[in-house]
């Protein structure tokens, strides 16, 4: 048994979680704490948090974790490294000493829409080359908002970082480093591995951006000051992390070109594996990358499990699952969109959900919602496969929706793909994989292959193939009729 320990830390919107994982993938200890958001919200969709609270809570979680390891007879001599992930697109503004000059602007803050459009105009060639467009959720759009609307704050900022970067910087005492997973939404050129020349058009920005390293590579070591508040040993290697979505992708076990990690939570989030950068004509697909020549083409839908939260609040989901299982596949077609607007697998700001024909009872409505989500998945895979040059891979599913065996089987049947459920489907485990990549293995894919274990697999049932092919044809016909998609897909 491999008793070497790596530590992964995940900063989410609502809490901090840390895992200590053995080199063979067995979890040795866990710790977590909730995060009071300290939000500043207004009609403009603003969301901010205090980075100093992140560090205080992370230090406390690491103290819990290291105490648990010591109690389990796994001393510091067996600890090999630590890596951290955080929300994608969150912007942190620090002065020269590493102190925040303002609250962080969170990933889902919507204030920077005008700045995003301005960036798309200034960097049209860059966007076409990289295959995406800037949005208000991107860190560079938020940075540009600070530059335009808070010039005093901009002048005081010496380092623009991201959420996971900030915690790793606190561990090391180096405020000028990021990884290229986090830096993607700040405009980092993943093809040239450099900050692009066009950023010179944004006065004062380039000199405030960090140096960028690959996820899963050495960043620094735990400092004396950080060791005193975390319980980590001085000199423990700190390994560059990634965004929470990229970390979750690694935790899923996905590793071969054509395979997907799909997170089914409130929304559907897709990340595939490809050997080439995917470029979508409308910029709906963007690609992270990881060492080893692998790209992660991905996108996110506004659909997912939110329709359950809105249509069946507080209900016994196990009982609804059981009732739906007897009805699947169902003739009722659904696009279970809980709110107006869809962003992927097509862009339709005016789109709204539908159930056709209207279901006669709640069991049919629930079954059609499960099935409709699965049909959206099938279309999404067709779109990403087309731009990424992949086909026919398997799916490694994470998120709360993966707990439902009925939904997992429906998704396998509707997409015609084997769907796997990993044993530890969480971002903190993916960060532990990156820590192992930088200390125990040569690259992330070797660490994934060794450490990730599957809980259960769901192959498609051949007896349902014809029915789901016919349902998918009807489903895409409905989307064409509404003008949401232009041509037959997948």
Pairing of strands 211-213, 177-179: parallel
Residue 235: per-residue pLDDT: 98
Task: Give yes or no for residue 146 having a pLDDT over 60.
Answer: yes
Q: Smallest Cα–Cα separation from 253: which of 419, 126, 66, 405?
A: 419
In terms of DSSP H, where are the helices of 217-305?
224-230, 244-252
Over range 403-413, report the average pLDDT. Answer: 97
Over range 121-139, report the average pLDDT. Answer: 93
* Tens digit of each residue's pLDDT (9 = 90 or more) over 365-387: 999 999 999 999 999 999 999 99
Over range 425-443, report the average pLDDT. Answer: 94
Give the integer Cα–Cα distance in Å for 268 and 307: 12
Rg of the Cα trace of the chain? 22
Residue 225: per-residue pLDDT: 98
Local structure of 455: helix, strand or coil: strand
Give the integer Cα–Cα distance in Å for 401 and 408: 8
The token duo for 117 is: 């459009």
Residue 490: per-residue pLDDT: 47
Task: Give yes or no for residue 321 having a pLDDT over 80.
Answer: yes
- Start-end ranges of CATH 3.30.420.40 in the chain? 5-245, 257-393+460-481
Residue 266: per-residue pLDDT: 85
- Provide DSSP, 99-168: -BSSPEEPTT--TTHHHHHHHHHHTHHHHHHHT----TTSHHHHHHHHHHH-HHHHHH-SEEE-HHHHHH
Give the integer Cα–Cα distance in Å for 51 and 103: 7
Q: How far is CA 446 from CA 242, 456, 469, in A?
A: 17, 21, 36
Task: Give yes or no for residue 42 having a pLDDT over 70.
Answer: no
How many other CB atoms sit within 10 Å of the CB of residue 164?
33
CATH architecture of the domain formed by 5-245: 2-Layer Sandwich (3.30)
Superfamily of structural domain 257-393+460-481: ATPase, nucleotide binding domain (3.30.420.40)
Residue 488: per-residue pLDDT: 52
> Could you tell me the pTM of the whole model?
0.89
% the chain with pLDDT above 90:
83
Residue 328: per-residue pLDDT: 98
Residue 41: per-residue pLDDT: 56
Question: CA dihedral in degrees (220, 223, 227, 230; nearest 10)?
Answer: -60
Residue 154: per-residue pLDDT: 98
Task: Give yes or no for residue 163 having a pLDDT over 60.
Answer: yes
Task: Give yes or no for residue 117 having a pLDDT over 80.
Answer: yes
Over range 314-332, report the average pLDDT. Answer: 96
Residue 209: per-residue pLDDT: 98
* Tens digit of each residue's pLDDT (9 = 90 or more) over 190-248: 999 999 999 999 999 999 999 999 999 999 999 999 999 999 999 999 999 999 989 99
Q: What is the average pLDDT score of the chain?
A: 94
Residue 43: per-residue pLDDT: 57
Q: Among 22-36, 39-53, 443-457, which is the least confidently predicted range?
A: 39-53
Tell me which residue has tokens 């900030």. Answer: 166
Task: Give yes or no for residue 312 having a pLDDT over 50.
Answer: yes
């Amino acid at each position: 048994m491999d008793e070497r320990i790596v530590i992964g830390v995940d900063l989410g919107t609502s809490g901090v979680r840390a895992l200590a994982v053995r080199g063979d993938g067995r979890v040795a200890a866990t710790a977590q704490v909730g995060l009071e958001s300290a939000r500043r919200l207004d009609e403009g969709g603003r969301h901010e948090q205090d980075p100093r609270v992140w560090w205080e809570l992370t230090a406390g979680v690491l103290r819990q974790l290291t105490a648990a390891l010591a109690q389990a007879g796994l001393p510091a001599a067996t600890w090999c490294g630590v890596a951290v992930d955080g929300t994608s697109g969150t912007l942190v503004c620090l002065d020269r000493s590493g102190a925040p000059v303002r609250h962080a602007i969170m990933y889902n803050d919507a204030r920077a829409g005008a700045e995003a459009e301005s960036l798309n105009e200034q960097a049209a060639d860059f966007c076409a080359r990289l295959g995406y467009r800037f949005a208000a959720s991107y860190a560079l759009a938020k940075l540009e908002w600070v530059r335009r609307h808070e010039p005093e704050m901009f002048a005081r900022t010496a380092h623009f970082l991201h959420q996971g970067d900030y915690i790793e910087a606190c561990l090391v005492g180096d405020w000028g480093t990021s990884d290229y997973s986090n830096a993607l939404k700040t405009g980092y050129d993943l093809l040239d591995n450099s900050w692009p020349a066009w950023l010179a058009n944004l006065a004062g920005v380039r000199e405030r951006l960090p140096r960028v390293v690959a996820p899963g590579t050495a960043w620094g070591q735990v400092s004396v000051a950080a060791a005193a508040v975390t319980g980590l040993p001085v000199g423990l290697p700190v390994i560059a992390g990634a965004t929470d979505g990229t970390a979750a992708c690694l935790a899923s076990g996905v590793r071969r070109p054509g395979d997907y990690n799909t997170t089914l939570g409130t929304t559907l989030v897709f990340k595939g594996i490809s050997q080439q950068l995917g470029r979508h004509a409308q910029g709906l697909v963007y690609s992270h990358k990881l060492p080893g020549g692998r790209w992660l083409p991905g996108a996110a839908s506004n659909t997912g499990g939110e329709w359950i939260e809105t249509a069946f609040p507080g209900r016994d989901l196990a009982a609804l699952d059981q009732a739906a299982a007897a009805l699947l596949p169902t003739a009722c077609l659904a696009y279970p969109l809980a709110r107006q607007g869809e962003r992927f697998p097509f862009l339709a700001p005016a789109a709204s959900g539908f159930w056709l024909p209207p279901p006669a009872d709640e069991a049919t409505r629930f079954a059609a919602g499960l099935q409709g989500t699965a049909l959206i998945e099938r279309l999404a895979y067709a779109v990403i496969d087309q731009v990424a040059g992949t086909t026919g891979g398997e799916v490694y599913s994470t998120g709360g929706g993966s707990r439902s065996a009925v939904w997992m089987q429906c998704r396998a049947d509707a997409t015609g793909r084997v769907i796997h459920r990993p044993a530890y489907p969480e971002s903190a485990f993916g960060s532990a994989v990156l820590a192992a990549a930088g200390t125990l293995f040569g690259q992330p894919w070797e660490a994934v292959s060794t450490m990730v274990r599957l809980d259960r697999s769901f192959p498609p049932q051949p007896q349902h193939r014809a029915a789901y092919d016919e349902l998918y044809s009807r489903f895409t016909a409905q989307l064409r009729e509404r003008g949401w998609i232009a041509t037959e897909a997948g």
